[in-house]
């Protein structure tokens, strides 16, 4: 399979901490609003909204919070209008970085992101500068939790998965973007613990980062992750666990 992002693994381990800070809810609410704005408030007719609802449920978002976000996005309630865009660039070690952004002020946001990138050894690039290094793919993370790897592999394929790898205490399952929610729901229904389910930009190949660039890169990624307008970050770096 294409190289699973090292940052994706690190981000999943940060999820509990992010939830305590309220970061997860903020980003999911924005995604619910934009998904409803672009495709309507019916999840059966809007695959993106269905995925966002799945993410919201996984984050234990209250139903009324979820409903209000959808209604605001669909124009049924008054709310802020968010514009979505993608920024691309490079980080320490020459790694590629892509950022999904939702903002109500693009000029402010791009200036802030450019400042973060330049301050921490990165550089914002033109649209398309690194996008060709990634491909869109559904990524479902299951907790291994003592599960038999062969059994999970077979169940994942039966559910419609395209690929499967074991990583540390997790199983990383790849699915087509359109099938991601269905595969995750099927596996969840069989009793597996779904840590996350999302459509991500997965790197086709990875770049090994070593030495001083490791800390500089992780610091940059942390600052970008903490920016309120950045929904998702994708990168193609690979770092030995011993260097983290």
Mean pLDDT value across the chain: 87
Question: Residue 13: what pLDDT?
Answer: 53
Q: Does residue 6 register a pLDDT over 90?
A: no
CATH superfamily of 83-132+205-239: YebC, transcriptional regulation domain (3.30.70.980)
CB 117 within 8 A of CB 123: yes
Q: Model confidence over 57-107: pLDDT tens digits?
A: 888 899 999 999 999 999 988 878 888 999 999 999 999 999 999 999 999
Question: Residue 239: what pLDDT?
Answer: 84
- What is the spatial order of strands in the sheet that 96-103 belongs to? 123-124, 83-90, 96-103, 230-235
What residue spans define the domains of the chain?
14-73, 83-132+205-239, 134-203
Tokens encoding 70: 């959808």
The CATH number of the structural domain formed by 134-203 is 3.30.70.980
Q: Is 64 exposed, middle or buried (0-12, 13-18, 19+ CB in 10 A)?
A: exposed
Question: Residue 26: what pLDDT?
Answer: 87
Q: Does residue 17 register a pLDDT over 60?
A: no
Percent of the chain past pLDDT 70, that is, above it, reads: 89
The pTM assigned to this predicted structure is: 0.79
**83-132+205-239 and 134-203, same CATH topology:** yes
Question: Residue 2: what pLDDT?
Answer: 40
Mean pLDDT check: name the lowest of 8-22, 138-152, 209-223. 8-22
10, 90, 121 from 116: Cα distances, Å? 20, 12, 9
Question: How is domain 14-73 classified at the CATH fold level?
Answer: Arc Repressor Mutant, subunit A (1.10.10)
Q: How far apart are CA 126 and CA 148, in angstroms?
A: 45
Percent of the chain past pLDDT 90, that is, above it, reads: 61
Q: What angle do CA 239, 150, 234 make, to 5 degrees?
A: 30
Q: Model confidence over 177-212: pLDDT tens digits?
A: 989 999 999 998 999 888 888 888 999 999 999 999
Structure confidence at residue 235 as a pLDDT band (50, 70, 90) = very high
3-state SS class at 161? coil
């Amino acid at each position: 399979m294409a190289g699973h992002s090292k940052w994706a693994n690190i981000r999943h381990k940060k999820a509990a901490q992010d939830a305590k800070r309220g970061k997860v809810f903020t980003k999911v609410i924005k995604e619910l609003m934009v998904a409803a704005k672009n495709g309507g408030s019916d999840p059966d007719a809007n695959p993106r909204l269905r995925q966002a609802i799945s993410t919201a449920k996984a984050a234990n978002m209250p139903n009324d919070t979820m409903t209000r976000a959808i209604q605001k996005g669909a124009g049924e309630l008054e709310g802020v209008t968010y514009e979505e865009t993608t920024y691309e660039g490079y980080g320490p070690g020459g790694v590629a970085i892509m950022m999904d952004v939702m903002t109500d002020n693009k000029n402010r946001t791009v200036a802030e992101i450019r400042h973060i990138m330049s301050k921490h050894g990165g550089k914002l690039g033109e649209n398309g500068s690194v996008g060709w290094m990634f491909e869109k793919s559904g990524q479902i993370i299951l907790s291994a939790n003592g599960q038999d790897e062969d059994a999970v592999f077979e169940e994942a394929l039966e559910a419609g998965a395209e690929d499967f790898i074991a990583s540390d205490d997790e199983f990383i399952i790849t699915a087509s973007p359109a099938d991601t929610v269905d595969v995750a729901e099927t596996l969840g229904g069989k009793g597996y613990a779904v840590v996350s389910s999302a459509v991500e930009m997965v790197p086709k190949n990875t770049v090994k980062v070593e030495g001083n660039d490791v800390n500089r890169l992780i610091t940059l990624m942390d600052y970008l992750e903490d920016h309120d307008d950045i929904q998702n970050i994708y990168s193609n770096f690979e770092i030995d666990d011993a260097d983290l």
